[in-house]
A and B are shown apart, each in its own frame.
Chain A
Amino acid sequence: QVTLKESGPVLVKPTETLTLTCTVSGFSLSNATVGVSWIRQPPGKALEWLAHIFSNDEKSYTISLKSRLTISKDTSKSQVVLTMTNMDPVDTATYYCARIQGGRDYFDYWGQGTLVTVSS
């Protein structure tokens, strides 16, 4: 059974750095055919893909946030970590991690999401 679960702070202050962890089970981060993505959704708004990482450590970032994002993985812990620097209130959103199928790049399993609020 494939599961993903996000963890991290629920509240961050402006200018702080957000660190989110996605812990996966039911598949391995060394699996060559899949990867893990981060996607966010501001309240009442659409989905926005942020980044993904595959087993060979191939990474990709959304252009508009590339300077603020870092994605990494710890295969032994089955964890993928996303850091976002210089947080702003507009970054308030539910952050999801999702498994991405390599090649076709669709998201077949999602975590429950974690709401992160940016406020002083």
Chain B
Amino acid sequence: DIQMTQSPSSLSASVGDRVTITCRASQSISRYLNWYQQKPGKAPKLLIYAASSLQSGVPSRFSGSGSGTDFTLTISSLQPEDFATYYCQQSYSTPLTFGQGTRLEIK
């Protein structure tokens, strides 16, 4: 299995801050990396696919980058509705695997 490791596990930030979350794969996954946002009690929502493609309807303050083993999700200017847990997911090979999540909290 390909292991996905996110850092940090939790993060405190303020509205308007620029935030970066990283995801590292245990082996090269090219650009087969996707990002999701999950709010409490809700299903995850796709933000970014193929490392840097913005899903339709997702605000442009979200962006993704990286290839190989190292990837980042950046939120350029945090909004109140962005406080949530974020997950990366590799789709290079089955079993499809997720990171452990990064909880983004209000400072």
List residues 21-59 of chain A with CB under 8 A from any CB of chain B. Answer: 37, 46-49, 52
From known contacts A46-B87, A47-B87, A110-B44, infer whether A105 and B1 are also in contact, taking CB-CB under 8 Å.
no
From known contacts A104-B49, A104-B50, infer whether A63 and B44 are also in contact, taking CB-CB under 8 Å.
no
The answer to whether B98 touches A46 (Cβ under 8 A) is yes
The answer to whether B46 touches A46 (Cβ under 8 A) is no
- The DSSP consensus for interface residues of chain A is strand
> Which B residues are in CB contact (< 8 Å) with A46?
87, 98-101
> Which A residues are in CB contact (< 8 Å) with B100?
46
Tell me the bound Cα distance from A113 to B32 in angstroms. 25
Residue of B43, B87, B91, B101 touching A105 (CB-CB under 8 A): B91
Q: How far is the CB of A20 from chain B (nearest CB, A)?
A: 15
Chain B residue with the shortest CB-CB distance to A101: B49
Whether B55 sits at the interface, judged by CB under 8 Å, is: yes
Whether A60 sits at the interface, judged by CB under 8 Å, is: yes
The answer to whether B96 touches A49 (Cβ under 8 A) is yes
Q: Mark B42-68, 1 if CB is under 8 A from A, else 0.
A: 111110011000010000000000000
> Which B residues are in CB contact (< 8 Å) with A110?
43-45
Q: How far is the CB of A59 from chain B (nearest CB, A)?
A: 10
Residue of A37, A48, A107, A112 touching B46 (CB-CB under 8 A): A107
> Which A residues are in CB contact (< 8 Å) with B89?
47, 49, 106-107
Please tell me the size bucket of the interface on A: 20 to 34
Tell me the bound Cα distance from A106 to B36 in angstroms. 10
A60, A101, A106 pick with most chain B CB within 10 angstroms? A106
Chain B residue with the shortest CB-CB distance to A112: B43
The answer to whether A107 touches B50 (Cβ under 8 A) is no
The answer to whether B101 touches A60 (Cβ under 8 A) is no
Q: How far is the CB of A2 from chain B (nearest CB, A)?
A: 12
Chain A residue with the shortest CB-CB distance to B92: A105
Q: How far is the CB of B41 from chain A (nearest CB, A)?
A: 9
Residue of B1, B42, B46 touching A63 (CB-CB under 8 A): B1
Tell me the bound Cα distance from A90 to B87 in angstroms. 22
